[in-house]
Amino acid sequence: MDFPCPKNFDDMIYIKGLIHGAGVWDAEAKECMMNHAIPASFMPAFRVDVFEWMVGMGVILKDAWRAAEFVRHEYGLPFTPDKPYTDWDQWTIKRCRKILYMVLKGRIIEYLLLKMKAGRI
């Protein structure tokens, strides 16, 4: 499977997160990034992305964190926010239901920093 070339460190973090998660990177995500020029940082690649999206939709912090943990561990979204949805929100909900496992963002950053320190990136 080919992946888009990262343009900066943030893209590199998100692309690695998409690659190392299960059910996060698929043909649909590739289509959005390659053909529709959606940056990697717009994709739900980490638990914190789901959490921030839920908070942005008006969900209280405790429930947003619980929902993000459910998505991270393959349980899907336990509920959906009550706000009206845009097309992007509907797409995000659909993506969250497909995710089997999300790697932690801190682990990906640590991995990339160690690779950079070793001169392998």
d(CA 46, CA 24): 9
- Given a cut of 80, whether residue 120 has pLDDT beyond it is no
Q: From 24, 49, 29, select the one nearest 39 (Cα to Cα).
A: 29
**pTM, full prediction:** 0.82
Tens of pLDDT, residue by residue over 60-87, are: 999 999 999 999 888 888 888 887 778 8
Residue 4 belongs to some domain of the structure: no
Q: Are 92 and 44 within 8 A, CB to CB?
A: yes
Residue 14 belongs to some domain of the structure: yes
Domain count within the chain: 1
Residue 19 belongs to some domain of the structure: yes
Tens of pLDDT, residue by residue over 79-115, are: 888 877 788 888 888 888 888 889 899 999 999 999 9
Q: Give the domain range for residue 34.
A: 9-117
Tens of pLDDT, residue by residue over 24-41, are: 888 878 888 888 778 888
